[in-house]
């Protein structure tokens, strides 16, 4: 029998007696609702960046969620700093984006060396720099880029907080996952 790459050899967590999927879905539901209420209704912002970040940083296992959270925060900070630097230095030129993303990857891989969520660094740099491609003013582009990074960070915090709270209410050890 052929197995898909990355598929688990012991799919016990997918058996009918496992509640892991329900646990994770409930985490995502609660965190999405919190972000929607917080950003959309309270602040008038589009919560999509925060929600996508929350999903990427979430895990039903608190230890894994914490590890992902810190990797995401560190690499997002690197991406933000690099993106802002290239936004100011590159002034939104045609080669700013590919050059900034490549430099960000090199810094993440060889200087920062936090492998968890290392892809987040160039993604965040792209978020910051992309703002100048859709705006005329560098200042407004920097504001938009920083706001998006802030939304990503808020999404990470909400994701980890909901995972932690849900583990206190409904520990993952009861769903078939240790940790």
Token digits of residue 8: 């688990």
Confirm whether 129 is domain-assigned.
yes
Confirm whether 11 is domain-assigned.
no
Average pLDDT over every residue of 133-142 = 68
Confirm whether 1 is domain-assigned.
no
Confirm whether 28 is domain-assigned.
yes
For 116-137, the pLDDT digits (tens) are 888 889 998 988 888 777 765 6
Average pLDDT over every residue of 66-72 = 90
Q: Which range of residues forms the domain containing residue 93? A: 19-174
Query: Could you tell me what percent of the chain has a pLDDT over 90?
Result: 42
* Distance (Å, whole) CA 119 – CA 113: 12
Q: Check whether 103 has a pLDDT greater than 90.
A: yes
Q: Check whether 32 has a pLDDT greater than 90.
A: yes
Write down the residue that tokens 């929600």 correspond to: 51
Confirm whether 4 is domain-assigned.
no
Note whether 131 and 152 are within 8 A (CB).
no
* Contacts of range 130-138, beta carbons closer than 8 Å, 24 or more positions apart: 130/97, 131/87, 132/87, 132/91, 132/92, 132/96, 133/92, 133/97, 138/87, 138/88, 138/91, 138/92
Rounded to the nearest 10 degrees, the angle between the axes of helix 120-134 and helix 138-169 is: 140
Tell me whether residue 14 is exposed, middle or buried, using C-beta atoms within 10 angstroms of its C-beta: 0 to 12, 13 to 18, 19 or more: exposed
Between residues 95 and 179, the one the model is more confident about: 95
Chain centre to alpha carbon of residue 48? 11
Confidence of residue 9 (pLDDT cuts 50, 70, 90): low
Confirm whether 7 is domain-assigned.
no
Q: Check whether 69 has a pLDDT greater than 70.
A: yes
Confirm whether 41 is domain-assigned.
yes
Number of domains in the chain: 1
Confirm whether 39 is domain-assigned.
yes
């Amino acid at each position: 029998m052929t197995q898909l790459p990355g598929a688990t050899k012991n799919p016990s967590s997918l058996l009918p007696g496992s509640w892991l999927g329900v646990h994770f879905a409930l985490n995502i539901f609660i965190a999405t609702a919190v972000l929607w209420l917080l950003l959309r209704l309270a602040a008038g912002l589009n919560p999509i960046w925060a929600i996508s970040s929350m999903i990427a940083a979430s895990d039903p296992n608190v230890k894994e969620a914490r590890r992902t959270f810190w990797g995401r925060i560190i690499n997002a900070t690197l991406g933000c700093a690099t993106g802002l630097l290239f936004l100011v230095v590159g002034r939104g030129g045609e080669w700013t984006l590919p050059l900034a993303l490549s430099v960000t990857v090199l810094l993440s891989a060889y200087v920062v060396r936090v492998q968890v969520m290392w892809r987040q660094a160039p993604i965040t740099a792209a978020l910051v720099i992309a703002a100048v491609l859709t705006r005329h003013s560098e200042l407004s582009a920097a504001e938009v880029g920083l706001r998006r990074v802030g939304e990503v960070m808020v999404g990470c915090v909400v994701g980890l907080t909901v995972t932690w709270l849900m583990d206190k209410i409904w520990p993952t050890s009861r769903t078939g996952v240790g940790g």
